[in-house]
Amino acid sequence: MAAVALLLAAMLAVSGISQLDLQRDADADRLQLSALPHRSSIRLEQQRRDGWSSLRSDRMSERELQQDAENAAAATYRVTVGVYATNTYDLDLSVPSFASNGYIWLRWQEPLQRYLEQQQLGLEDRVILLNQLLSDADPGLKPIGDPERLDDGSYYQLFSYLGRFYIDRASFRRFPFTTVSLPLVLEADDVDGVFEYANLRFVPDVKNSGVGLFSGIIGWLKRGWSIAEYRHQYATNFGLGGPAAAYSTLVYDIAFGTSSWSAFWRLILPLLVVMAMVLLVFKVRADEQDARAGIPVTVLLTLVFLQQTYRDELPQLPFLTFLDQVYVVAYVVTLLAFVLVIWIGRRYNELEAMPEGPQRQALAHRLHTLDELWPLSVVGFTTVSVVLCWLTLPPLS
C-alpha cells in the first residue's frame, strides 16, 4: 500500500506541476499572415502528418483577406523582397540562435525612390533584420553596388547579409523529435512615422527566393523553406499617441528537423538499457539483498547523468519536454523498485524466521509471484505512461 500511495503521489505531483506552465502574454506583439502571396516548399501532406507549419499565424478570414488585399494595393510604398540563403550553420539550441549568410534583393517604385533621395538615404538605412543578434559581423544589409533603374521604371538593388539570428519557433515539447525554424525577419526601421503598415508593404518574391547548396546543417534534416509577409501588430505606440503601431514584416525561414532514428539510438536506447536493469532487479537471487538494493540506486544516478547530458543542449524551458516526461516515468519506476526491494527484503527476513508450514509456503509463494510479476508490471506501466505522455502533448503552434 505504501508503494502504491507513493506512486500516486508522484503522478499527482507531476500532473500538478505541469499545470504551472506560464501562459503567453495577451498584450504581447503578434503576427498576422497577410493577403499577399506566400510560399512554402514543405508539402502539405507532410505538414499535416507532422503537425508543423512554418506559418506564424492562422490565415485571415475571406473578408479580412479582401480588405488586406485592397489595403496593399493602395499602399504608398511597395517593396518586393527576395531572399536566398547560401550558408546556414552553427545552430545553437541553448540560446537559441543560428548563423547564416546570403543575399537579399529589393525592388521598389518611383515614390519610394523620391523619398530616399529627399532624405539622402539608401534603402538599407530603412530596412533592418529584426531578429539579428549581436555578433562580430557587421549588422544589417550590405549593398552590392548602387541601385539600378530597370526598364519598367522600378529600382533594384542587391544586398548581402551575414550574422547570427534569433530562433523564435521550435517544437521543444516533442524533444528529441524536434523541428526548428530558422528565420530571417525584415522590417522597416520607421524613425519618422511614414512606413507603417498602411503605407509600406513588403511583397515576397515567391518565384526567385530559395536556399543555396550549402544551406544545410550537418546532423539535421532540411525540411524546406518558406517566405511570407505578416502584419506585425505592436503592443505599443512608442509613446507617440494614438493606436498601437503596426508594420509590414517579411519572414523567410528554413525548417530543420531531427532524424527520429538517430534520436532513438542516441537518446532513447541508452535509457532503455538502463531501465532494463530495473526490469531485472528481482531476477537477482533473493538472498543477495545488497545486490538487489544497489541496482535501483545505481540506475537513479545514471538517470540523473543521462538527463543532464541532453538538457545541456536545450535552453531553459518553462515546460517538460517529451523526453523529460519519459525520464519522470523512469524515476517513478526506479523509486518504486527501490521501495519494493526494501519491502520484499524484509518479508524474506520474516520468511527465514518462520517455521515450516502453510503460512511459510503462502508467504514464499506470494513473494515468488511478486518477483515474477514485476517485469510485466514495469513493461505495462511504462508503455502506457509513455504513450499517454506523447498523446497529451499540446499541438504545435
Share of the chain above pLDDT 90, in %: 32
pTM reported for the whole predicted model? 0.80
Over residues 281-328, the pLDDT tens digits come to 766 665 566 666 788 888 889 999 999 988 888 888 888 999 999 999
Lowest mean pLDDT among 29-43, 89-103, 341-355: 341-355
Contact 129, 104 (CB under 8 A): no
CA–CA separation, 294 vs 206, rounded Å?
62
Question: Which cell is 46 given?
Answer: 507532410
- In the DSSP assignment, the letter for residue 132 is B
Angle CA(79)–CA(80)–CA(81) in degrees, nearest 5? 110
SS3 249: strand
- In angstroms, the first-to-last Cα distance of the chain is 42
The dihedrals phi and psi of 194, each to the nearest 5 degrees, come to: -105, -5
The pLDDT of residue 158 is above 90 = yes
Angle CA(280)–CA(283)–CA(289) in degrees, nearest 5? 105
Is 212 or 236 the better-scoring residue by pLDDT?
212
In the chain, what are the domains? 2-17+262-391 (1.20.58.390), 34-258 (2.70.170.10)
The pLDDT of residue 3 is above 80 = no
CA–CA separation, 104 vs 186, rounded Å?
10
Question: Which cell is 204 given?
Answer: 515576397
